[in-house]
Amino acid sequence: MGKNKLSKFAELNTYEHVVQISYKKLLAGEFRYKGKWAEAFFGNSNPVILELGCGKGEYTVKLASHFPEYNFIGLDIKGARMWVGATQAMELGLKNVGFLRTNIENIRLFFAAKEVSEIWLTFPDPQMKKTRKRMTATNFIESYRHIMVPDGIIHLKSDSNFMYCYTEAMVAENGFEMIRKTDDLYHSDLLDEVLSTQTYYERQWLDRGLSIKYLAFKLSHQIELREPDIEIEKDEYRSFGRQGKE
C-alpha cells in the first residue's frame, strides 16, 4: 500500500536534500543558501538548473542522472508530489539533486542574482484567464531574469497550444533568441533521451491523444519586458474539468 500524505511529509522533513522553510523564517533572515547553492548545498562549483512546478520531479531526477556536472533543484509547493522525486533521487544516490518546497513567486528570496543557468517549466497550467499567473508572463520572466546568468536558457514542455503560442509570442515580442521549438515533439527530430522523459501530467495528456510541445529560448537582460498583445485561441479540452485543479 502507498504511503499517505502525512507520512510523506514526515519523511520529507528528514531528507537532507529537501529544503522547506516557513515564510516567516525566510523573512526574518537571509536564507542560508541564497547565492551559495553550489558551494554550500551541493559542495561544488557547478552551474545550478531549476525545474519550476516540478510535481514529482521527473525532469530533475532525469537531468541530474544524465548531467552529473550540473546541480538540479526541483521546486514545487506540493510536498507529497515532491516526495516521489526526492525519494527516487536518494535511492539512486544522486548527489547533484535538491528539492525546494516553496511558491515560485518567492524565487528571488531563495536565489541571488545570476545564480541560475537554466530553468525548466514542465507542464505548467496555462492560466488562460490570468496572465499574471502564467509562468512565462512578464512578471515571472522578470524574476527569472534576475536570478539567471546573462543568456540563461528557459525550456518549456507543455500539452497546451495556448501556453506554447503565448510563450512563442513573448519570445518574439521581446526579441529573445528561440533556440529550439516544435509543436509535436514526438514526431520531431528534437526528441532525445532527456526530452522523451514523460512526467505524470504529460502521460495523462498523451493518453488523451494530445501532441506535446517543446521550446527553448535564451533570455536577454538588456531590454524592458513587454507583454505580447495578441489573441490566442483557448485550449478547448481544458474547459472539461482539468483547468483550475492546480
What are the residue numbers of the active site?
Answer: 125
Smallest gap from Cβ 131 to ligand SAM, in A, equals 14
Q: Which of 31, 42, 201, 205 binds ligand SAM (CB under 6 A)?
A: 201
Selection from 91, 53, 89 nearest residue 71 by Cα = 89
Q: Which run of H or of E encompasses 177?
A: strand 177-182
Q: Which stretch binds ligand SAM (CB under 6 A): 26-34, 100-108, 207-215, 222-230?
A: 100-108
Q: Which run of H or of E encompasses 72?
A: strand 71-76
Q: Which stretch binds ligand SAM (CB under 6 A): 28-36, 98-106, 188-196, 210-218?
A: 98-106
In the β-sheet with 116-122, what is the strand arrangement from edge to edge? 18-20, 97-101, 71-76, 48-52, 116-122, 148-158, 213-218, 177-182
Does residue number 182 form part of the binding site for ligand SAM (CB under 6 A)?
Answer: no
Closest CB to ligand SAM among 38 and 75?
75
Closest CB to ligand SAM among 26 and 220?
26
Phi, psi angles (nearest 5°) of residue 158: -155, 150
Q: In terms of DSSP bridges, do strands 97-101 and 116-122 run parallel, antiparallel, or are they unpaired?
A: unpaired
Smallest gap from Cβ 101 to ligand SAM, in A, equals 8
- Could you tell me how many residues make up the chain? 246
Smallest gap from Cβ 43 to ligand SAM, in A, equals 26
By rule CB under 6 A, what count of residues binds ligand SAM? Answer: 19
